[in-house]
Amino acid sequence: MKLTAQIRLDSTPEQRDALRETLRRANAACDVISAEAFEHKIFAPYKLHERVYRRIREEFRLSSQVVVRCLGKVADAYKLDKDTQRTFAPLGAIAYDARILSWNFFEHTVSIWTIAGRLTIPFTCCGEHHTDLLCAQKGECDLVVRNGTFYLYATCDVPDAPMMNTKEALGVDLGIVNIATDSDGEIFSGTEIEQTRTWYAKRRATLQSVGTKSAKRRLKKLSGKQRRFQKNTNHRIAKTLVAKAKGTKRAIALEELTGIRKRVTVRKSQRGRHSNWAFGHLRQCIEYKAQCSGVRVILLDPRNSSRTCSACGHCEKANRRSQAEFVCVSCQHTSLADVNAAINLKMWAAVKQPMVSKTHIRHYAGSGTNHPTLAGGV
């Protein structure tokens, strides 16, 4: 499994100037390569190499391997479509490989190529997790500048943990009011996230209306805080769910919500909250943490999961009395709506699955029949 370690470069002012100028010159070279590729409709890296390699080396005085990485960056940029000419930010990230960057783990330094020559720069890992990842560093690194500080995003090849043999699953219902609810009844409320989003939205609006220099400085200081808070919340939720599933030797049954923003419409007053729902990032966190822990993740079609009774299997819109309350009109079973949906996901996942890390199941509820009983390992 490929993971990324974030490494901070503890560079001097002179080294930062050299790194910054290297990024500017490399991205300027990418713009020239992109213009040539778009004009002549040549997007394959090898053909681009034959056409512009010598010109770029002479014009921008970059090392041969940096030019090769620039050619690769331009070719990758046109993989999505070839209808629009690509341009690159002056301080955009540039990839480094083993020929132009090497590590000294004993002295905690990197030797990196710049336009000022090879520089030896001390580095610091951004946390114990990234320190552990760096032991498995393999492949390219991206040189990135953020708020005046340079970082290396190092690709690390971490071996997958062996998948556990499981017979049951932990159902997880995702939502906005409650970010996640599992089939054991544990609820991760979204109240704090919504309060944080509202506070930052009002604060930004107030500062933008003032428009003074001090207000702009405050806006700059607030930048990214809400996003980092939500990312941290998702990581904590994912860590808790994966630890619970691993400790009880269960798989994790998740809803497949890809494309939900296009399928679902909400009131105007709810658009900000709906757009702020980072379910994709939460799912990504759960999946990669589960893979590291040997926990299987099963993706299920969530259709009717909130309308189907987890006790008798009766499916009807009237079962869902409100956002929070579920009362079955057939058997009078009462439960929290999100817990009921999570139990349904748990039961729908309790069928024999192929031996793969991710499985997509389409389950159609609504026939009034009982849920399938356990038929083997998940």
CATH of the domain at 265: 3.30.420
Residue-level pLDDT at 275 = 67
List the domain range (segments joined by +) for residue 6.
2-157
Q: Distance (Å, rounded) from C-alpha 147 to C-alpha 59? A: 29
Range of 187-191, 258-262, 368-372 with top mean pLDDT: 187-191
Task: Indicate whether 24 belongs to any domain.
Answer: yes
Give the model's confidence band at 132: pLDDT under 50 very low, under 70 low, under 90 confident, else very high. Answer: confident
Contact 44/75 with Cβ under 8 angstroms? yes
Any domain includes 328: yes
How far is Cα 23 from Cα 19, in angstroms, rounded to an integer?
6
- Write out the two tokens for 313: 């299997």
144 strand-pairing partners? 151
Identify the band that residue 90 occupies on the pLDDT scale cut at 50, 70 and 90. very high
In a domain? residue 213: no
Tokens linked to 134: 């760096």
**Span 50-61, average pLDDT:** 92
Q: In terms of domains, do 91 and 112 share one?
A: yes
Q: Are residues 106 and 174 in the same domain?
A: no
- For residues 186 and 125, state if they share a domain: no
Same domain, 183 and 327: yes
Assess whether pLDDT exceeds 90 at residue 174: no
**DSSP 8-state symbol, 79:** S
Q: How far is CA 34 from CA 58, 75, 142, 274, in A?
A: 17, 8, 20, 37
Give the H/E segment covering residue 51.
helix 45-60
Quick one: pLDDT at residue 273?
61
Q: Are residues 131 and 7 in the same domain?
A: yes
Pair 188, 70 in one domain: no
Task: Using the structure block, give the residue that is written with the tokens 């560079």.
Answer: 11
Q: Are 176 and 277 in contact (CB under 8 A)?
A: yes
Whether 174 and 113 map to the same domain: the answer is no
**Which of the two residues, 72 and 176, has the higher pLDDT score?**
72
pLDDT at 271: 64
Residues 272 and 309 in one domain: yes
SS3 208: helix
Q: Is the pLDDT of residue 166 over 60?
A: yes
Asked whether residue 56 falls in the same domain as residue 185, the answer is no
Residue 204 lies in a domain: no
Higher pLDDT, 352 or 212: 212
Residue 294 gets the label, from left (phi > 0), alpha (psi -120 to 50) or beta, of left
What is residue 368's predicted lDDT score, i.e. its pLDDT?
A: 39
Q: Per-residue DSSP letters for 136-187?
A: TEEEEEEEEEETTEEEEEEEEEPPPPPPPP-S-EEEEEE-SSEEEEETTS-E
pLDDT at 274: 63
| Mean model confidence pLDDT for the chain | 84
Q: Which two tokens stand for residue 94?
A: 């540039």
**pLDDT for residue 362 is more than 70:** no
Contact (CB, 8 A) for 89 and 20: no
Distance, C-alpha 117 to centroid of its chain: 35
Mean pLDDT of the region 366-374: 38
Same-domain check for residues 117 and 76 = yes
Count structural domains, the chain. 2
Residue 143 lies in a domain: yes
Q: Read off the pLDDT of residues 109-131 as tens digits, 9 standing for 90 and up.
A: 999 999 999 999 999 988 888 88
Average pLDDT over residues 227-246: 90
Count other C-beta atoms under 10 Å from residue 116's C-beta: 13
Residues 150 and 236 placed together within one structural domain of the fold: no
* Average pLDDT value for residue range 87-105: 93
Residue 220 lies inside a defined structural domain of this protein = no
Residues 146 and 253 both lie in one domain: no
Model-wide pTM > 0.95: no
Separation CA 126–CA 123 (nearest Å):
10
